[in-house]
Copies of this chain bind each other. A is one copy, B any other.
Amino acid sequence: MMRLVRTQGQLRPLSKVSSTVLQRPVASSPRQFPTVFRNYSTTPNKPAAPSAPSPPSPPSPPKRSRLRSAGRALLYIAVGVPVIGTAAWYTYDALEAKGDVLHQKRPRRVIGGPKNLVMTHGCSGSVLKAEEIHQNDPRQRLVILGSGWGAVSVINQLDPKKFHVTVVSPTNYFLFTPLLPSATVGTLELRSLIEPIRRLLSRLGGYYVEGRADDVDFENQLVEVSGIHDSEGRKFYVPYDKLVIAVGSESMTHGVEGLEHCNFLKSITDARDIRKRVMENFEKASLPTTTDEERRQLLSFVVCGGGPTGVEFAAELYDFLNEDLVGYFPAIPPEEVQVNIIQSAGHILNTYDLKISEMTESKFKRENINVITNSRVVKVNPTSVVYKDKETGKEAEVPFGVCLWSTGVGMTPLVKSLVAKLPHGSQSNKHAIETDGYMRVIGTPEGTVYAIGDCATIPQPHFVDRVMTLLQESDTNNDNVLSYDEFRTLADRIIAKHSVLKVFLSHLDETFNKYDKDHNGTLDLDEIRAFLIDAEKQCTALPATAQVANQQGIFVGKRINILHSIENDPMAVSQLPQFAYKHLGSLAYIGGNEAVLDMGKGLVYGGIGSEYLWRSVYFSEQVSVRTRLLLLMDWSKRALFGRDISKF
Binding site for B on A (CB under 8 A): 8-9, 30-34, 37-38, 40, 66-67, 70, 90, 92-94, 96-98, 100-106, 108-109, 118-121, 171-173, 189-191, 194, 196, 198-199, 202, 207-211, 227, 229-230, 234-236, 268-269, 272, 279-280, 283-284, 286-290, 292, 319, 322-324, 326-331, 333-335, 337, 366-368, 592-593, 608, 611-612, 626, 629-630, 633, 637, 639-642, 644-648
Q: How far is the CA of A611 from the CA of B633 in the complex (A)?
A: 24
Would you call A284 and B33 a contact (CB within 8 A)?
no
The 8 Å CB contact of A328, one of B98, B198, B283, is: B198
Closest residue of chain B to A190 (Cβ to Cβ) is B648
A-B complex: 7 closest residue pairs judged by Cβ atoms: A173-B646, A102-B334, A210-B283, A234-B289, A30-B330, A198-B328, A97-B593
Closest CB in chain B relative to A240 CB, distance in Å: 15
Q: Which residues of B contact A94 (CB under 8 A)?
A: 593, 608, 611
Q: Which residues of B contact A9 (CB under 8 A)?
A: 292
Q: How far is the CA of A70 from the CA of B30 in the complex (A)?
A: 56
Would you call B323 and A102 a contact (CB within 8 A)?
no
Closest CB in chain B relative to A39 CB, distance in Å: 9
Q: Which residues of B contact A103 (CB under 8 A)?
A: 334-335
Closest CB in chain B relative to A145 CB, distance in Å: 16
Q: How far is the CA of A34 from the CA of B645 in the complex (A)?
A: 14
Q: How far is the CA of A103 from the CA of B611 in the complex (A)?
A: 27
Would you call A171 and B289 a contact (CB within 8 A)?
no
Would you call A327 and B172 a contact (CB within 8 A)?
no
The 8 Å CB contact of A229, one of B8, B280, B333, B592, is: B280
Q: Which residues of B contact A118 (CB under 8 A)?
A: 288-289
The 8 Å CB contact of A97, one of B33, B592, B645, is: B592
Closest CB in chain B relative to A217 CB, distance in Å: 16
Contacts A37-B642, A105-B333, A121-B288 known; 7 new A-B pairs at CB < 8 A: A31-B328, A33-B327, A101-B322, A198-B328, A210-B286, A229-B284, A236-B288
Would you call A101 and B646 a contact (CB within 8 A)?
no
Would you call A101 and B283 a contact (CB within 8 A)?
no
Closest CB in chain B relative to A428 CB, distance in Å: 36
Closest residue of chain B to A102 (Cβ to Cβ) is B334
Would you call B106 and A333 a contact (CB within 8 A)?
yes
Would you call B331 and A121 a contact (CB within 8 A)?
yes
Question: Given A90-B612, A104-B334, are A97 and B323 also a contact pair (CB < 8 Å)?
Answer: yes
The 8 Å CB contact of A207, one of B93, B330, B366, B642, is: B330
Would you call B326 and A31 a contact (CB within 8 A)?
yes
Closest residue of chain B to A612 (Cβ to Cβ) is B90
Closest CB in chain B relative to A186 CB, distance in Å: 8
Would you call A641 and B612 a contact (CB within 8 A)?
no
Closest CB in chain B relative to A173 CB, distance in Å: 4
Would you call A98 and B323 a contact (CB within 8 A)?
yes
Q: How far is the CA of A202 from the CA of B329 in the complex (A)?
A: 10
Would you call A329 and B641 a contact (CB within 8 A)?
no
Q: How far is the CA of A322 from the CA of B38 in the complex (A)?
A: 13
Question: Given A102-B326, A196-B644, are A331 and B207 also a contact pair (CB < 8 Å)?
Answer: yes
Q: Which residues of B contact A611 (CB under 8 A)?
A: 94
Would you call A646 and B288 a contact (CB within 8 A)?
no
Would you call A626 and B646 a contact (CB within 8 A)?
no
The 8 Å CB contact of A637, one of B194, B612, B630, is: B630
Q: How far is the CA of A37 from the CA of B640 in the complex (A)?
A: 6
Which of A229, A287, A608, A645 has its CB near the most chain B CB atoms (within 10 A)? A287
The 8 Å CB contact of A645, one of B196, B207, B323, is: B196
Q: Which residues of B contact A105 (CB under 8 A)?
A: 333, 335
Q: Which residues of B contact A101 (CB under 8 A)?
A: 322, 326-327, 334
Closest residue of chain B to A366 (Cβ to Cβ) is B100
Question: Given A202-B328, A637-B630, A648-B269, are A287 and B322 also a contact pair (CB < 8 Å)?
Answer: no
17 A–B contacts, CB within 8 A, in A order? A31-B326, A34-B327, A67-B67, A97-B593, A98-B323, A102-B368, A104-B335, A105-B335, A108-B331, A120-B288, A171-B646, A190-B648, A194-B644, A196-B328, A196-B645, A210-B283, A633-B637
Q: How far is the CA of A366 from the CA of B119 in the complex (A)?
A: 37
The 8 Å CB contact of A593, one of B70, B93, B289, is: B93
Q: How far is the CA of A269 from the CA of B641 in the complex (A)?
A: 24
Closest CB in chain B relative to A74 CB, distance in Å: 8
Closest CB in chain B relative to A312 CB, distance in Å: 15
Would you call B194 and A230 a contact (CB within 8 A)?
no
Closest CB in chain B relative to A353 CB, distance in Å: 24
Question: Given A104-B333, A327-B32, A639-B92, are A647 and B173 also a contact pair (CB < 8 Å)?
Answer: yes
Would you call A642 and B209 a contact (CB within 8 A)?
no
Closest residue of chain B to A335 (Cβ to Cβ) is B102
Would you call B648 and A268 a contact (CB within 8 A)?
yes
Q: How far is the CA of A593 from the CA of B230 in the complex (A)?
A: 36
Closest CB in chain B relative to A459 CB, distance in Å: 36
Q: Which residues of B contact A286 (CB under 8 A)?
A: 208-210
Question: Given A103-B335, A630-B637, A642-B38, are A330 and B288 also a contact pair (CB < 8 Å)?
Answer: no
The 8 Å CB contact of A322, one of B98, B120, B280, B324, is: B98
Q: How far is the CA of A359 from the CA of B611 in the complex (A)?
A: 54
Closest residue of chain B to A232 (Cβ to Cβ) is B289
Q: How far is the CA of A210 from the CA of B331 in the complex (A)?
A: 12
Which of A108, A289, A633 has its CB near the most chain B CB atoms (within 10 A)? A289
Question: Given A109-B288, A287-B209, A639-B93, are A199 and B593 also a contact pair (CB < 8 Å)?
Answer: no
Q: How far is the CA of A102 from the CA of B189 in the complex (A)?
A: 27
The 8 Å CB contact of A230, one of B109, B289, B642, is: B289
